[in-house]
Amino acid sequence: MNEYTDEYLISFEEDMQKAVDRLYADFSTLRVGRANPKVLDRIVVDYYGTRVPINQTANIQVGDARMLVITPWDMGVLKNIVSAINDSNLGLNASDDGQKIRIVFPVLTEERRKDLVKEAKNMLETCKISLRNCRRDVLDVFKDMKKASEITEDDLSALEKQVQKLIDKYNTNVEEICEKKIAEIMEV
């Protein structure tokens, strides 16, 4: 093995970490019954003809365990924010008092919890697919290096084992992350 293979292994591990980070980001957008400003990250609002995320038009604070308080920087966009939240597929109901928007997170039903668990498992599977794609890409590079006689057959075999150990480690890690998220979703 040589410095080129080490660079590819480092790049491979960085790509896998990006997939895990994406999984964390996706999980943070799942509504689990507690107030979390991240659930609004996917919602965009019409701000004078431009579609922008809510967090770029207002200050979002956690009022208590089950309430978010949104204070728009420009009161002209208040009704647009309320409409965007109510029209989203998050099951949230936003109400305003002319100055601030309040979102009370309802207690999740058992059916909604099961739907969220399915969504979390789909996110996990997407992450695992990304990890497998990373593995395939790096192994293709190593096989091409073998064909070009840059590494030996023994080096290729050792690299394949090293890549498999890394992928196993990351798969175990994302499964543990998903189990924790599912436990959080099912918590009453």
**Cα separation of 25 and 162, whole Å?**
28
pLDDT of residue 33: 67
**Model confidence band, residue 188 (pLDDT cutoffs 50, 70, 90):** low
114/66 same-domain check: no
Segment 47-91, tens digit of pLDDT: 888 899 988 888 888 877 788 899 999 888 889 998 888 888 777
Neighbours of 133 (CB within 10 A): 13
Residues in the chain: 188
pLDDT of residue 36: 78
**Cα separation of 76 and 99, whole Å?**
10
Is the per-residue pLDDT at 3 higher than 80? no
Q: Residue 133: which CATH number?
A: 1.10.132.20
Biggest alpha carbon–alpha carbon distance for the chain = 71
Looking at the chain, the whole-number percentage of residues with pLDDT higher than 90 is: 43
Domain finish residue from 54, 76, 104 = 104
141/162 same-domain check: yes
- The arithmetic mean of pLDDT across residues 37-52, rounded, is 86
- The arithmetic mean of pLDDT across residues 126-137, rounded, is 95
